[in-house]
Structure 1
Amino acid sequence: MNSAELHDVDALMAALHACRDAWDTPDRTGDPVDLHDHGLQTARLLERAHPEDYELQVAGLVHDLGHLLYPGDDAGHADHAAQALRPLLGERAARLVALHVPAKRYLVATAPDRALSPQSALTLEAQGGAMTPAEVEEFRRDPLFSAAVALREADDAGKVVGLRTGTMEDWRPVVERVARAAA
């Protein structure tokens, strides 16, 4: 699948369904859940914490699609996904997807005792490592700072083997709502 194919909700939903048994690493040595379950868990956590922020919830659902579109590109997966999703889901949702990696770098810099999954810790250096103090201050000024950190926190928590969080089709109405608003 390539990013040009994500032109409508049906295509996006097909890509999300294709995340079943697709992993963040080609050899499956990464996080303990596939991209499908990880997206569902992340979105559900965001729905509970931010029930009115549909763009944030959908960003959580789709934030790791870059792993499916460009397998093995840990450093660029967020930007690839954001670029592919922007025309359909709009600027805010796409920026939130792109910001989930800088938010990890921010949290590592500001809360160094915070635990990362082994795979997130492994990819941190390829993604730029912990932010510098100047980068921290710049990131805090971003209008999407709080939402990006919320997405990252849900991303880190959404890696529980066997956790049931509904189905991908449960999210179709929310994805359609965000896509309509972005059109």
Structure 2
Amino acid sequence: MTAHSVDELMDLLHACRGAWDTPDRSGDPVDLHDHALQTAALLRRRRPADKELQVAGLLHDLGHLLRPGDDAGHADTAADAVRALLGERVARLVQLHVPAKRYLAAAEPGRGLSPRSDLTLGVQGGPMTAEEMAAFVRDPDADDALMLRQADDEGKVVGLDAGELEDWRPVLEHLVAARAGAAR
């Protein structure tokens, strides 16, 4: 599934209300909707000028909605769904949130993950090897991917008000318009 418009993307995001990272709800304590809003809000606070990073935080787990149960491939699925509409950087950041988890698991072995993230780490390749870590840090998007991952880990608080989904529509519209303008 590829989102071809902001309306289609918003429909997907609205469908995240009541959808979970696991079909049986045994995963994280908030639904994909609340998790998306919390992750994006954390990134907005940390990097107010970086709308692409914020939007990547909003969209990073769409793959759980599009392909339920595909923990290993959910980041690629989400990146593929948004690449044509929002561009390569947003898609890469979405895609890199799993390698960033693997990097952090290797770099900070005692770092806490949610029980579900800890469980899925294995199917996502486990902690990176030294060679994988060296390659990851050379990626120009590595620092932003790590920031996204940290917000991802923190954005799982039951009952936290992180705003309204519709507040993100103008941000998405701005990014799409900027891409269209740059393509001319």
- TM-score, normalized by length of structure 2? 0.97
SS state of the match for residue 14, structure 2? helix
Match for residue 15 of structure 1 among 12, 15, 29: 12
1:81: which partner in 2?
78
Match for residue 54 of structure 2 among 41, 54, 57: 57
2:107: which partner in 1?
110
The two structures, once aligned, show a CA RMSD in angstroms of 0.6
Stretches of structure 2 that go unaligned for 5 or more consecutive residues are none
2:119: which partner in 1?
122
| C-alpha separation in 2, matches of 1:53 and 1:86 | 17
Alignment of 1:138-149 (within 5 A): 138-149=135-146
Displacement after TM superposition at 1:181 (Å)? 2.2
Match for residue 134 of structure 1 among 131, 134, 139: 131
| C-alpha separation in 1, matches of 2:71 and 2:61 | 10
Match for residue 98 of structure 1 among 76, 89, 95: 95
Amino acid at match of 2:65: L
SS state of the match for residue 125, structure 1? helix
- Count matched residues: 180
SS state of the match for residue 123, structure 2? coil
Percent sequence identity over aligned pairs = 68
Displacement after TM superposition at 1:182 (Å)? 2.6
SS state of the match for residue 13, structure 1? helix
| C-alpha separation in 2, matches of 1:117 and 1:74 | 14
Displacement after TM superposition at 1:165 (Å)? 0.8
Displacement after TM superposition at 1:176 (Å)? 1.0
| C-alpha separation in 2, matches of 1:114 and 1:179 | 36
Stretches of structure 1 that go unaligned for 5 or more consecutive residues are none
Cα deviation, 1:1-51, whole Å, max 9, x if unaligned, reads: xx13x1100000010000000000000000000000000000000000000
| C-alpha separation in 2, matches of 1:182 and 1:71 | 30
| C-alpha separation in 1, matches of 2:17 and 2:85 | 22
Displacement after TM superposition at 1:175 (Å)? 1.1
